[in-house]
Amino acid sequence: MHLPLSSLPLLLITALPAAAAPVDFSHQIVPILREHCSECHTGNKKKGGLSMNDRASFLAGSENGPIVEPGNAAKSRLIEVLHPPDPDDQMPPKGGPLPPEKIALLRAWVDEGLTWEEGFAFQKPAYEPPLRPRHVDLPPATDGRDHPIDRLVDHYLAKNNIPRPAALDDAAFLRRASMDLNGLLPEPAAFLAFIADPAPDKRARLIRSLLGSDVAYTEHWLTFWNDLLRNDYDGTGFITGGRKQITQWLYAALLQNKPYDQFARELIAPTPESAGFSEGIKWRGTVSAGQTTEIQFAQSTSQSFLGINMKCASCHDSFIDRWKLSEAYGLAAVVSEKPLELFRCDKATGKIQGAAWLFPELGDIDPAKPVHERQQQMAALMTHPENGRFTRTLVNRLWHQLLGRGIIYPVDAMSTPPWDADLLDWLAVEFAAQKYDLKKMLEVICLSQAYQSKSQTLSQTTDAAGYHYAGPRAKRLTAEQYVDALWQLTGAAPQKPDARVVRMKTSTAAATGGPVPAKTATWIWGSSAAPGNTPPANETIKLRYTFESAADHPTLGAVISCDNEFTLLVNGKEVSRSADWMQPQTLLLPKLIKKGKNEILVTAKNGGDGPNPAGFFFQGLIQPTEGSAIPIVSNAAWEWSTMIPLEWKPAVIVPTVPAWAEKIDQAATGLLTAAFESGSQMVRASLLKSDFLMRTLGRPNRDQIVSLRPNDLSTLEAIDLSNGSILAGYLSKGAEALLARPWKNPDELTAWIYQFALSRNPTPAELSTVRDLMPNGPDATSLQDLLWAVCMLPEFQLNR
């Protein structure tokens, strides 16, 4: 039996058009209109009252009325006049009819909704964004709303006769802020506590608490920055060595809340750890001139930090804005060992371009300097206090993330007029005044009543006459948010991330406090490591430790290293392996230790050249739900054996160990503290390689920078949410876990699911439906159905 909501994905599928390659407006439609229509209908020319200069003019039509019906080419006058019954009505009137392939492109373009590159016009608008910061005089406060953002937004709303959005209730605010700042659902206990809290400052305290949860904040915003800096854990270039991760640098920068100006400088003039961004992807084989690593540098830095699309200008002078081919090559030459020859549409021009900055009024780059000095000069110019475009771009991105649409939209079209220049400029100046503190800027926005307002109700015609701010807009959960929410509900998160990061602050790692006793481990070996013995080449040994646990299912945490690779099993289950002896592994296992006898079994191998013994290090801790922690460490109590036959003997401790091993020994207690401190937070989807479910939910291939993910449901997504095996596996695991818990009655279980998933209690009608679903109490099938139905609700899939 299914809930009525179980039909939702099928309804979504039937409502969706068949997938097709979208028409490329800039490269397929603009050339047709420019060649055949611009003489009479673009710029200041409006023959017959028709202007095609921009989308709004196009939609306004001619003196005889509209000429297009977006989404319906068959009823659009534009398509009809291209091959009319009467030749005298044919458009264009000169030069003969358009070729069938061009008519087909225009027809497809209209059917797709008349998509238009944001900010594009055949006659360039007079607007040019200011370069330098601009200080804004705040309008007076109304109705006691004295937050600077509210003063500016209220003034805008009043000037445009737009009603002020209503305030968001506590439950909806709790879910919105939690998903926006940490990307996690608030747990039922937190939901109930927040709703019951009468303190007037509880929202401010919640915002600061969420931002103060360093690991949760970092692992949520890692998704945003991975997209924007095209960083990932596998994909094009990694196997061939033509691409480098910046994961460890990026994770640490977010965890430490590195000031954004320093953050940008370290990406433009990189450290070895952050160089992957500026170096781009070295594609195999012959590539176009627009895909060299130097041009990638120009494209990436201008897009990420300035919201400028240099991809068009990397091939020819841009169709979309004022940027020229020479300016794209000027940025590219910053990282080139020699001046670059300009290629226009992949054809050499013979012109040479040296390193140059886009805004010479702030300074320039010396082409005679070596590459690393030119990068330092560019980094200084990018973060120059008078470069207001740098700060505007970032605060616009944050506003978009929090309120669903940028003050300038799209966020990479920063040459487009903002809907409120005063608001954008105030945010940019405030960001610099707060010393480029990303968390502080998020806090400033979230404390405003503008952020804490109900979402705007949208219709198909909402933006037909252009965008006007009327409140926040609902945002689809990202693939990572959706998967994390599923894992929170079901307990199905994996045990180990793909991103090789230490999930805590370095300052905490240096401490020896926390739950970990001061006792430390030692390196253990087989007898071949004892003085006077010669180990065999590529020695492989077994090591084991058996112990009794008085508690059932305590948490086991450990820091592990091996010279130089190992496989670790706990009670017969493989839980960790590594061949990287330079990187200690942290491990946190909440359920594998059982009451009674337990066994830790290791296969340790030294794969180096020559006779090297296999050594192993294990600093562990068993933490029961109640009571004191128990250390489990590698020492003489462990046993070792050759692989064949297994004959267990006491492990060997040698007098001295290598210097790198001593460093691991010294750091182990802090790293184990880290494992426990971060272990209360599950492994997040942002730390994992993309899988099929995440890709269908919109996680991009990060071969290119992605600053906006699609906000529309795709056919593939609807199908996968209906019957995908990955989602079904999570729900099955979740149903089993929930059935194992001691619920008082089915209503308590239902309330818990609704409180966790939706931050509200179920309605009486929903409770009645669930009771009908479970007349004899919950079982695995009915509980999977309930979880699935709740996770299919738009209320679950949107952050509103």
pLDDT at position 511 is 36
**Max CA distance (Å), the chain:** 103
Residue 670: predicted pLDDT: 59
CATH class of 506-678: mainly beta
Q: What is the pLDDT of residue 659?
A: 66
Q: How far apart are CA 701 and CA 234, in angstroms?
A: 10
Q: CA-CA distance, 178 to 206, in Å (whole number)?
A: 9
pLDDT-based confidence at residue 528 (cuts at 50, 70, 90)? confident
Q: Does residue 105 have a pLDDT over 70?
A: yes
Q: Which residue has the tokens 């009043």?
A: 158
Query: How many helices (H) does the chain have, and how many strands (E)?
Result: 30, 14
Where in the chain are the domains?
5-111, 148-164+389-473, 170-218, 231-382, 506-678
Does pLDDT of 328 surpass 70? yes
Closest CA to 115 of 232, 3, 24: 24
Do 311 and 290 meet the contact criterion of CB atoms below 8 Å apart?
A: yes
The rounded distance, in Å, linking the Cα atoms of 617 and 600 is: 13
Token reading at 466: 């252009």
Q: Out of 229-243, 648-662, 739-753, pick the least confident.
A: 648-662
Residue 5 has pLDDT above 50, yes or no: no
Contacts of residue 326, Cβ cutoff 8 Å, sequence gap at least 6: 342, 351, 353
Pairing of strands 347-353, 585-589: unpaired
Residue 395, Cβ density class (10 Å: 0-12 exposed, 13-18 middle, ≥19 buried): buried
Mean of the pLDDT values across residues 549-570?
86
User: What confidence score (pLDDT) does residue 20 get?
Assistant: 61
Residue 17's pLDDT is what?
45
- Helix/strand/coil percent split, the chain, to 5: 40, 10, 45
- Least confident range from 245-249, 517-521, 754-758, 793-797: namely 517-521
Written as one string, the DSSP assignment of 381-448 is: HHT-TT-HHHHHHHHHHHHHHHHSS-SSSSTT-TTSPPS-HHHHHHHHHHHHHTTT-HHHHHHHHHTS
User: E strands within 416-457?
Assistant: none
DSSP 588-614: EESS---SEEEEEEEEEE--SSSS---
Structure tokens at 797: 């899939």
- CA 693 to CA 685: how far, in whole Å? 11
Beta partners for 519?
A: none
CB 333 within 8 A of CB 355: yes
pLDDT at 658: 64
In tens, the pLDDT along 284-313 reads 888 899 899 999 999 999 999 999 999 989
How confident is the model over 191-241, as pLDDT tens digits?
999 999 999 999 999 999 999 999 899 999 999 999 999 999 988 888 888
* Token digits of residue 448: 């405003």
> What is the reported pTM?
0.73
State the Cα angle at 436 between 434 and 438, rounded to 5°: 100
Distance in angstroms (rounded) separating the CA atoms of residues 695 and 758? 24
Q: Phi then psi for 101, rounded to 5 degrees? A: -65, -30
pLDDT(185) > 80: yes
What DSSP assignment string belongs to 714-783?
A: -HHHHHHHHH-HHHHHHHHHHHHHHHTS--SSHHHHHHHHHHHHHSSPPPHHHHHHHHHH-TT---HHHH
Half-sphere exposure of 248 (CA within 13 A, CB side): 10
Peptide bond between residue 606 and the one before it cis (omega within 30 degrees of 0): no
- What letter represents residue 441's amino acid? M
Structural tokens at position 410: 């799209």
CA dist 268 and 92 (Å) reads 49
- Measured CA distances, 559 to 69, 511, 568, 632, 636 (Å): 64, 15, 12, 11, 18
Burial classification of residue 772, based on how many CB atoms lie within 10 Å of its CB (0-12 exposed, 13-18 middle, 19 or more buried): exposed
Classified as helix, coil or strand, 344 is strand
Residue 476 forms beta bridges with which residues?
A: 798
Looking at the DSSP bridge assignments, the partners of residue 642 are: 541
Is pLDDT of 512 > 50? no
Q: In which region does residue 440 sit, left (phi positive, over 0), alpha (psi from -120 to 50) or beta (all else)?
A: alpha
Contact 425, 388 (CB under 8 A): yes
| DSSP letter string, 613-676 | --EEEEEEEEE-SSS--EEEE-STTSEEEESSS---EEPB--S---HHHHHHHHHHHHHHHHHH
pLDDT at residue 711 tops 90: no
Nearest to 215 by CA among 687, 629, 690, 585: 687
What is the per-residue pLDDT for 290? 87
First to last CA, the chain: 30
- Angstrom CA distances, 30 to 27, 139, 709, stand at 6, 42, 24
- For 111-128, write each residue's pLDDT tens digit: 988 888 876 777 765 678
Average pLDDT on 653-670 reads 66
8 A C-beta contact, residue 134 and residue 420: no
